[in-house]
Amino acid sequence: FLYDHTHFLPKGRTLDIAMGEGRNGVYLATHGFDVVGMDISEEGLKKAQRLAKENNVTIETRVVDLETVQLEKDAYDVVICSYYMQRDLFLQMKEALKPGGIVLVETFNTDYLKYNSRFKSEWVLGENELLELFKDFKILRYQAVDDGKLAYSSILAQRPPQNNKTLTPP
């Protein structure tokens, strides 16, 4: 989803939430984005830095506990979050965007539980949950996929260009 929609993203300061080993953040850095990646895993972020070096790009990484982090408001042109689910971060992600900024989220949805019964239900999106969470944004792209092995939802949404201080909490 990210690769197919990179051209929609405004080049600029980009936050990769739950960056892990950095595949998405480094990909964006190779396309001219100024990437800041956050994750609780110091080891994962070290791998992300090695991947960045291998690709001749620079990224900033921050070891943080996403359960307690306070994201900087109006600070990013792009916020991405792939396959990490923490509902109380959605409002912060929205507020972290500059007016006109774009968020990209992709993670498992409730249909995924059919394929992985040990996966916790609180870690999956409900039916159309992303659409509801970003109803005060302009929805640029949305998909809900169930391919018989995996089930996930993805959204690309733009914060209203004016400095909208009444963002809808989740």
Give the pLDDT confidence score for residue 162 in this predicted structure. Answer: 76
Which residue in the block uniquely carries the two structure tokens 């001219």?
A: 32
Which residues touch 136 (CB under 8 Å, ≥6 apart)? 94, 160, 164, 166, 167, 168
pLDDT at 151 over 90: yes
Of 24-28, 150-154, 160-164, least confident by mean pLDDT is 160-164
pTM attached to this predicted model: 0.92
pLDDT band at 117 (very low <50, low <70, confident <90, very high): confident
Q: What is the pLDDT of residue 96?
A: 98
Would the pLDDT of 163 be above 60?
no
Q: CB-based burial of residue 94 (10 Å sphere; 0-12 exposed, 13-18 middle, 19+ buried)?
A: buried
Please report, rounded to a whole number, the percentage of residues in the chain having pLDDT higher than 90: 94
User: By the 8 A CB rule, do 22 and 51 touch?
Assistant: yes
Phi, psi of 110 (to 5 degrees): -55, -30
Phi and psi at 136, nearest 5°, equal: -90, 5
E strand or H helix that includes residue 34: strand 34-39
Question: CA torsion sign, 167 to 135 to 97 to 85?
Answer: positive
Q: Tell me, what's the pLDDT at 164?
A: 52
Is the pLDDT at 167 greater than 90, yes or no? Answer: no
Give residue-wise pLDDT tens across range 75-105: 999 999 999 999 999 999 999 999 999 999 9
